[in-house]
Amino acid sequence: MAENEAEADRTPDGVHVGLDDGLVKEVEIALDEDDALLVAALCEPLHPADLADLLQLVPPDQRTRIIGALGEAFDVETFSYLDDVVREDLVRALGPDGASALIKELETDDALEILADLDDEEKAAILASLPLPERTALQRGLAYPDYSAGRLMQREVVAVPDYWVVGQTIDYLRAKADLPDDFYDIYIVDPRFVPVGSVPLSNILRSRRNTPMRELRMKELHTVPATMDQEEVAFLFRQYGLVSVPVVDEEDRLLGAVTIDDAVDVMHEEAEEDFLKLGGVQETDLYQTPVRTMVQRMPWLVVNLGTAIVASLVIAQFEGAIAQIVALAVLMPIVASMGGNAGTQTLTVTVRSLAVRELTTTNAWRMLGKEFLVSLMNGAIFIAIGFFLAVFWFDDLQLAAVFGVALLINLLAAGVAGIAIPLVIDRLGLDPAVSSGVFLTTVTDVVGFFAFLGLAGYFLF
Amino acid sequence: MAENEAEADRTPDGVHVGLDDGLVKEVEIALDEDDALLVAALCEPLHPADLADLLQLVPPDQRTRIIGALGEAFDVETFSYLDDVVREDLVRALGPDGASALIKELETDDALEILADLDDEEKAAILASLPLPERTALQRGLAYPDYSAGRLMQREVVAVPDYWVVGQTIDYLRAKADLPDDFYDIYIVDPRFVPVGSVPLSNILRSRRNTPMRELRMKELHTVPATMDQEEVAFLFRQYGLVSVPVVDEEDRLLGAVTIDDAVDVMHEEAEEDFLKLGGVQETDLYQTPVRTMVQRMPWLVVNLGTAIVASLVIAQFEGAIAQIVALAVLMPIVASMGGNAGTQTLTVTVRSLAVRELTTTNAWRMLGKEFLVSLMNGAIFIAIGFFLAVFWFDDLQLAAVFGVALLINLLAAGVAGIAIPLVIDRLGLDPAVSSGVFLTTVTDVVGFFAFLGLAGYFLF
């Protein structure tokens, strides 16, 4: 903590980069000693984002104790920074009354996120306990599809008619009571409330009072329909470097705005999802109970068992050959494993390129050709390495030749399958990140075992 | 294109979400027909980000032709949206004169990015051709470490003394000529030019002219040293929902600012890097030549060959057993593969949790215990499945029992290794995303083959 104090001395408001591990330990010790005052004193100065991290780091039963110790000093905004699983548990622990009190204090988009986690019954109970205006706003939000722009947006926006000048806009902002907490752009709307332009606040501040607002608008206006998928919305922010985007209804009228902080959260979630899927995990399960973690991971393992059995069936066809030359059993996992790894490399690049839209129908054939070339070069190298390895190990030229050729064949199959499988899955409208891996290893195992044992059966007997 | 025109009718400035595949094809046809006018007409309306995507999608030789067709209409900002590899090639194609002309037109941070890609010799040639002020600014930027806040920041910021009021600030902004293109916060500095507060533009616009600026500052000020790693900077933006952050020198004086668009680019790059590393790829190689792609992917394959050989050496110890019961050769890949997949699931969650700092010394032991429990439950299920599978297939109770127990042992080893390996690598200060996978599959292969063949050797003979 001494270091933190030194930092705090340097600038009046302190420098914080995330949560301090030492602090977490101090809180845990204070909890062990049941010293609620110390817990509160340690946690109160934390930013809600850091407090959320702290709650996630400690065991589940300590979470409610920390919130209890903080009492009135607990910032409800902390909830919007929590992982879904942890948040759901905590909301349940609060009970229906606590949950409605919480929802009332949060902004619409954060409240919606919490409600969306709950069962229909719990949702209905909480909604019923809210005053009419809040209830209506939330029900309208819940009517948009999950993961849509409508769910992400905040309803409070600043919109002005296009005949206004800068002075009028500034006077309006100074007088208006219910401005959004954070906003970066002012939207120009036509008489039907359709956005026709977006003006960054910096453009207003650098212009004289009599400048017409329409002169300050950006060259391009990006609007998103309320039903647009959040991944598309995030793509828009990243592609064009936006900080806010107006959300419109089916008749193009302004409904609200999505701001960059929400878009950043979506990017983070989507990146996490893609990463986990590549490793055969469906969602973040760090905070899940062991039983639920097991249940969620099981389907992938069962599918993998199936593909492993398919590969073993290929081996079973060549039992006779293996019984005579046991070296085949020793070398065959190498052929399969090399194919699997080379294929995974290609697959990884392909899945990522599809996700960020850098691989499309336009360049797919060219990239397939490239991967084939890469595999051919890899194959040429490993046919040599494999040959010498096998000669050195088993002192059998024919076996070594068969091993090298099998490696080449499997590397070629791996390269082509690594790009073709995700492309086909993507074309079918499915998510290539989820299932490509299973198909790929099935291909590389089956081709690997079949090529090696088949060639051995043909040439060595 | 008809669809695009319909969109453009709806709102004056059109709605664009990324690049249209049809347009890419039209451009390619126009290039085939050598119709430079049509190419220019098709590409000119594109946002620089979309033009960059277009340049990446077409074959390398067509890129310079498109830029040539656009001539004066080519927006140099396009360069800042290009993938490193493509950008480097294009800058080389421009020659030293073209490159310095380009650098002169770009903002400091974009120019720095391009210079950083080049060799020292090319860098020196371009710098020498620039006028002194630009050269000095770029040299100062290049003095910061690669991937640091100093490289990311723009030097142009708006800073005001803390005794100013809103009216003074607005008048100053209206009079100041060299304001940054985009800014979202105004920094309050003390007489030594040390930032002491940050005021969002929205707070200025909603306040009366006589409001003191210091009253409008955010509760917390986050500053970053120029040497801070860009990944840390991006973490700060995401954790606290920032839109800009002041960059300071060793004496805490304001040097510049990093804005959210740059932070988003970093988040995107880091997510990409983590994803690719998990699949055994060192960097995006979509736009690399086949030879360079092969060279970059080769080390991983060689390492994998090494680990595969280690696993095969284990098998070789049991050649006698396999020669007598060939079913062992048929079943052994299943044991290894199940361990590999279960371990990869755990590894993926662990690597991700470490990257986003949700797994720390504080909760590591608890999470290790959880993964052990999950593996135990998985093992209990697969010992049963494995037993019945082997009985059904080979009609041998003893073999089936050995197979089931080996599955259980390997799943336990996989679960523990999946979390312990990346934790240890992380503790050693290395990147767990890169090397964990190799160690993990070595463990699951060796344990899998050894447990299955070893138990078989002990109990079946």
CATH of the domain at B375: 1.10.357.20
Joined tokens for residue B267: 């988040």
Q: Are residues B267 and B315 in the same domain?
A: no
Q: Are residues B195 and B323 in the same domain?
A: no
CATH number for the domain spanning B170: value is 3.10.580.10
Q: Percentage of chain A with pLDDT > 90?
A: 67
Secondary structure (DSSP) of A199-243:
EEHHHHHTS-TTSBGGGGS-S----EETTSBHHHHHHHHHHHT-S
Q: Are residues B121 and B163 in the same domain?
A: no
CA torsion, points B189, B190, B194, B196, in degrees to nearest 10? -60
Residue B311 and residue A333: Cβ atoms within 8 Å? yes
Answer yes or no: is B34 within a domain.
yes
What confidence score (pLDDT) does residue B3 get?
A: 37
Q: Are residues B137 and B173 in the same domain?
A: no
Answer yes or no: is B283 within a domain.
no
Distance CA B433, CA A3 (A): 30
The DSSP code for B1 is -
B49, B206, B315 ranked by CB distance to A330: nearest: B315
Question: Is A114 a residue whose pLDDT tops 90?
Answer: no
* Digitized pLDDT (tens) for each residue of chain B, 461 residues in all: 333 333 333 333 334 467 888 899 999 999 999 999 999 999 999 999 999 999 999 998 899 999 999 988 999 889 989 988 899 889 888 887 888 888 888 877 788 888 888 888 888 888 888 889 888 988 988 999 989 999 999 888 999 999 999 999 999 999 988 888 889 999 999 999 999 999 999 999 999 999 999 999 998 899 999 999 999 999 999 999 999 999 999 999 999 999 999 999 999 999 999 899 988 888 778 888 899 999 999 999 999 999 999 999 999 999 999 999 999 999 999 999 999 999 999 999 999 999 888 898 888 988 999 999 999 999 999 999 999 999 999 999 999 999 999 999 999 999 999 999 999 999 998 889 888 888 999 999 999 999 999 999 999 88
Residues in chain B closer than 8 A to A352 (CB atoms): 272, 275-276, 284
Q: Which residue of chain B comes nearest to A231, CA vs CA?
A: B17
Q: Are residues B189 and B250 in the same domain?
A: yes
Interface residue of A9, A10, A15 to substitute, partner B, most B CBs within 10 Å: A15
Q: Are residues A318 and A356 in the same domain?
A: yes
Q: Are residues B138 and B66 in the same domain?
A: yes
Residue A276 and residue B348: Cβ atoms within 8 Å? yes
Of B217, B283, B271, nearest to B83 by C-alpha is B283
The domain total for chain A is 3
Give how far A137 is from chain B: nearest CA, Å.
Answer: 24
Residues 6+ apart with CB under 8 A from B270: B231, B234
Q: Are residues B138 and B165 in the same domain?
A: no
Q: Are residues B133 and B201 in the same domain?
A: no
What confidence score (pLDDT) does residue B137 get?
A: 86
Answer yes or no: is B368 within a domain.
yes
pLDDT band with cut points at 50, 70 and 90 for residue A284: confident
pLDDT average, residue stretch A72-85: 90
Distance CA B48, CA B52 (A): 6
pLDDT band with cut points at 50, 70 and 90 for residue A283: confident
Residues in chain B closer than 8 A to A180 (CB atoms): 202
What confidence score (pLDDT) does residue A400 get?
A: 96
Answer yes or no: is A153 within a domain.
no
What confidence score (pLDDT) does residue B197 get?
A: 95
Q: Are residues A122 and A226 in the same domain?
A: no
Q: Are residues A333 and A386 in the same domain?
A: yes
Give how far A398 is from chain B: nearest CA, Å.
Answer: 19
Cβ(A281)–Cβ(B349) below 8 Å: yes
Interface residue of B7, B13, B192 to substitute, partner A, most A CBs within 10 Å: B13
Q: Which residue of chain A comes nearest to B433, CA vs CA?
A: A275
A to B CB pairs, distance under 8 Å: 387
Question: Is A254 a residue whose pLDDT tops 60?
Answer: yes
Residue A243 and residue B337: Cβ atoms within 8 Å? no
Q: What residues does A345 pair with on adjacent strands?
A: none
Give how far B357 is from chain A: nearest CA, Å.
Answer: 9
Which of A67-71, A148-152, A173-177, A405-409: highest mean pLDDT? A405-409
**Helix, strand, coil share (%) of chain A residues, nearest 5:** 70, 5, 25
Answer yes or no: is B285 within a domain.
no
Residues in chain A closer than 8 A to B323 (CB atoms): 323, 326
What does the mean pLDDT of chain A come to? Answer: 90
What confidence score (pLDDT) does residue A115 get?
A: 87
Q: Which of the listed residues A224, A254, A278 is the one where a domain comes to its end?
A: A278
Determine which of A186-200, A407-421, B64-78 has the lowest per-residue pLDDT on average. B64-78
What confidence score (pLDDT) does residue A10 get?
A: 34
Interface residue of A267, A345, A419, A438 to substitute, partner B, most B CBs within 10 Å: A345
Answer yes or no: is A88 within a domain.
yes
Task: Give the CA angle between residues A234, B358, A238 to the nearest 5°.
Answer: 15
Domain limits for position A424: 290-459
Give how far B143 is from chain A: nearest CA, Å.
Answer: 24
Q: Which of the listed residues B93, B125, B148 is the one where a domain comes to its end?
A: B148
Give how far A122 is from chain B: nearest CA, Å.
Answer: 29
Joined tokens for residue B351: 């690597």
Give how far B195 is from chain A: nearest CA, Å.
Answer: 8
Dump pLDDT digits (tens) for A14-37: 344 678 888 999 999 999 999 999
Q: Which of the listed residues B121, B148, B175 is the one where a domain comes to its end?
A: B148
A278, A308, A381 ranked by CB distance to B333: nearest: A308
Structure ipTM over 0.85, yes or no: yes
Give how far B120 is from chain A: nearest CA, Å.
Answer: 30
Helix (H) / strand (E) containing A295: helix A290-316
Answer yes or no: is B91 within a domain.
yes
Q: Are residues B303 and B450 in the same domain?
A: yes
Question: Is A130 a residue whose pLDDT tops 50?
Answer: yes
pTM of the model: 0.89
Answer yes or no: is A284 within a domain.
no
A221, A341, A352 ranked by CB distance to B11: nearest: A221
Cβ(B56)–Cβ(B86) below 8 Å: yes
A243, A252, A338 ranked by CB distance to B304: nearest: A338
Tell me whether residue A179 is exposed, middle or buried, using C-beta atoms within 10 angstroms of its C-beta: 0 to 12, 13 to 18, 19 or more.
Answer: middle
B286, B333, B377 ranked by CB distance to A349: nearest: B286
- From the centroid of its chain, how far is CA B441? 24
What confidence score (pLDDT) does residue A17 get?
A: 66
Phi-psi region of A106 (alpha: psi -120 to 50; beta: other; left: phi over 0): beta
Question: Is A13 a residue whose pLDDT tops 60?
Answer: no
What confidence score (pLDDT) does residue B16 get?
A: 44
